Amino acid sequence: MSQFALEITNLKKIYDSDVVALKGINLSVKEGDFFALLGPNGAGKSSTIGIIASLVTKSAGKVKIFDIDIDENFPEAKRLLGVVSQEINFNNFEKVIDIVNTQAGFYGIPLKDSKLKTEITLKRLGLWEKRNEQARTLSGGFKRRLMIAKALIHEPKLLILDEPTAGVDIELRREMWDFLKEINAQGTTIILTTHYLEEAEQLCKNIAIIDHGEIVENTSMKDLLSRLDVQGFLLDIDKSLDQPPSIPNFPITLEDPTTLNVAIKKDQSINHLFDQLSALGINVSSMRNESNRLEEMFIEMVKKH
Amino acid sequence: MRRRNEILVSLITLIRKEIKRYLRIWVQTLVPPAVTMSLYFVIFGSLIGPRIGSMDGLDYIQFMIPGLIMMSVITNSYANVVSSFYSVKFQKSIEELLVSPMPNWAILVGFIMGGVSRGVLIGCIVFCVSLFFYPSFTIVNPLLTISVLFLTAILFSLMGFINAIFADSFDDISIIPTFVLTPLIYLGGVFYSINILPDIWRNISMANPMLYVVNTFREGMLGVSDVSIPFALSMIIFFIAVLTSACLILLHKGVGTRQ
């Protein structure tokens, strides 16, 4: 078995409207990885996922799932793949349990086995209590969970999630992150597209950034973050200021009279900053990151491209 | 062997889903044809029928029964597949099928079996209703009757499937049934024998495919027909083969299903 869960070679997609969605991308995702595919709207993320899942026909190129070429043995490749689409794709008038059971049946799982698998999967995703409710009565968050339950029912080795937490509240998003981390730890390779860069930073080991149908970055999350040489911090101080204090080599602005915004380079000592502030009679009561660092880098990369 | 079992399970799942779909809304799917056909039997059979007299040597209500059954089978098998397949496209639940290892032919067979089962079930319901109005009805050739019943349901389910593939809106799935199927059925010998028509209209009627379906079924049920049965059966089978191939090609190319 290949060490790669997914290998994409020179993948192209040109839609009937002559829109070039993918310009020949190459991408490899290792088995067991938690991989982020990021990009702005219309960059080609959903086209890529659509082709892998056979929802979109490719114009050229090769896709292999665990070394199985989808053109040569699609049934076997599909057995290894679970897909959580961006949009709700089940019949809202069916019961939760029927939706998952039917999906299991489409994967060839006999009814007797699928009932058991459905029970386990629904319990795992906190949907068991809602099993007899029509899907249309579920909240947005539960609908997302149902999508994941459907994708996991045949125990895929590669799970692809296309913006799974879009429109989901913070609490549920965190729960979903924990769940995804858990199944990744159990050996399922996960590929995630998301607009929440914090999500990618929290979950993913490796990352690719796609823009205008091309991969503009493909590296480890650690490597990407290490390239950030400046980081912004917000310092809550114990007194009110009209103007930011002036400290050499530390550009400081005032967020509000009691909050300082400081840009600190990687090679600068934060202790030195505290000493300088202390000398000016300013004590720091708490400190936090200014904003998502990855977000800043992402915007820079897409802008350059 | 594993693959064969897997396909069989997926096919049974899809057929079960399709049957459950129309049974769940039985008030919309099963009751209306029974009510409509009862009205036809009351008005054209019991009230107007005796004034018309006989048709091809049969009581008028007796002559009408096969035509009305066929009309119900055609419209319901077509309507079932076109609405079901367009709905799964519309609500994107077609993705459940496309991401699964189900082959295209199994997807096609699943939807067609759904349409056939509804068409045949409604055919049986209408037949039972007809017995209420004409209790002495007996079927002359059960084998031919059942064969035509199933072949017709398959043929029009396939047509419904193609309509759904090309449909982009709910309007698109009602245009063909309203403006093509219904007029052809009404002019296809459901209510009359083409032998009563002037030559020119009889010749024009011979170009109506519904005429062959209705008359072949009437031959099975009553032993009378205006057309050649071997020719009609051959044409039905020929068109089933052509439409099946067309459906499989369209599914393979992803027309209307994949981007």
Residues in chain B whose Cβ is within 8 Å of chain A: 3, 5-7, 9-10, 12-14, 16-17, 87-88, 91-103, 253-254, 258-259
Percent of chain A predicted with pLDDT > 90: 33
- Residue A42: per-residue pLDDT: 82
> What's the CA dihedral at B187, B193, B195, B201 to 10 degrees?
-10
Whether A167 contacts chain B with CB within 8 A: no
- Residue B203: per-residue pLDDT: 86
The DSSP secondary-structure symbol of A133 reads: S
Ranges under pLDDT 70 in chain B:
none
- How would residue A135 be classed by pLDDT, with cut points 50, 70 and 90? very high
Is A102 within 8 Å of B95 when comparing Cβ atoms? no
Q: Which class is A1-80+156-227 in CATH? A: alpha beta
CB A82 within 8 A of CB A151: yes
Residues in chain B within 8 Å Cβ distance of A81:
99
- Residue A297: per-residue pLDDT: 64
Summarize the confidence of residues A269-284 as an average pLDDT.
87
How far apart, in whole angstroms, are the C-alpha atoms of residue A288 and residue A4? 38
* Interface ipTM: 0.86
Is B10 within 8 Å of A105 when comparing Cβ atoms? yes
Residues in chain A within 8 Å Cβ distance of B91:
89-92
Alpha carbon A208 to chain centroid distance?
A: 11
- Residue A169: per-residue pLDDT: 75
- Residue A269: per-residue pLDDT: 82
Phi-psi sector, A212: left (phi>0), alpha (psi -120 to 50), beta: left
- Residue A303: per-residue pLDDT: 62
- Reply yes or no on whether the pLDDT at A291 is more than 80: no
- How would residue A81 be classed by pLDDT, with cut points 50, 70 and 90? very high
- Measure in Å the smallest separation between the Cα of A53 and chain B Cα atoms: 6
Which residue intervals of chain A bear CATH 3.30.70.1560? Answer: 229-304
**For the segment A86-113, what is each residue's pLDDT rounded down to a tens digit?**
888 888 899 999 999 999 999 999 988 9
The residue among A65, A106, A159 with the most chain B CBs within 10 A of its CB, best to mutate, is A106
The DSSP-derived string for B195-216 is GGS-HHHHHHHTT-HHHHHHHH
Q: Which of 2.40.37.10, 3.30.70.1560, 3.40.50.150, 3.40.50.11260 is the CATH number of A229-304?
A: 3.30.70.1560
Higher-confidence residue of B126 and A169: namely: B126
Residues in chain A within 8 Å Cβ distance of B114:
none
How far apart, in whole angstroms, are the C-alpha atoms of residue A97 and residue B99? 19
- How would residue A177 be classed by pLDDT, with cut points 50, 70 and 90? confident
- Reply yes or no on whether the pLDDT at A168 is more than 90: no
Which residue intervals of chain A bear CATH 3.40.50.300? Answer: 1-80+156-227
- Residue A228: per-residue pLDDT: 66
Radius of gyration of chain A (CA): 23
**For the segment A41-60, what is each residue's pLDDT rounded down to a tens digit?**
888 888 999 999 888 989 99
- How would residue A38 be classed by pLDDT, with cut points 50, 70 and 90? confident
Other C-beta atoms lying within 10 Å of the C-beta of residue B27? 8
- Reply yes or no on whether the pLDDT at A69 is more than 60: yes
Is A87 within 8 Å of B92 when comparing Cβ atoms? yes
| Average per-residue pLDDT for chain A | 86
- Residue A3: per-residue pLDDT: 85
- How would residue A275 be classed by pLDDT, with cut points 50, 70 and 90? confident
Residues 69-108 of A with CB under 8 A from B: 74-76, 78-79, 81, 83, 85, 87-92, 102-103, 105-108
- Reply yes or no on whether the pLDDT at A229 is more than 80: no
Q: How many CB pairs under 8 A join A and B?
A: 84
Q: Rounded to whole angstroms, what are the CA distances from A30 to A33, A67, A215, B90, B194?
A: 5, 11, 17, 35, 71
CB A253 within 8 A of CB A244: yes
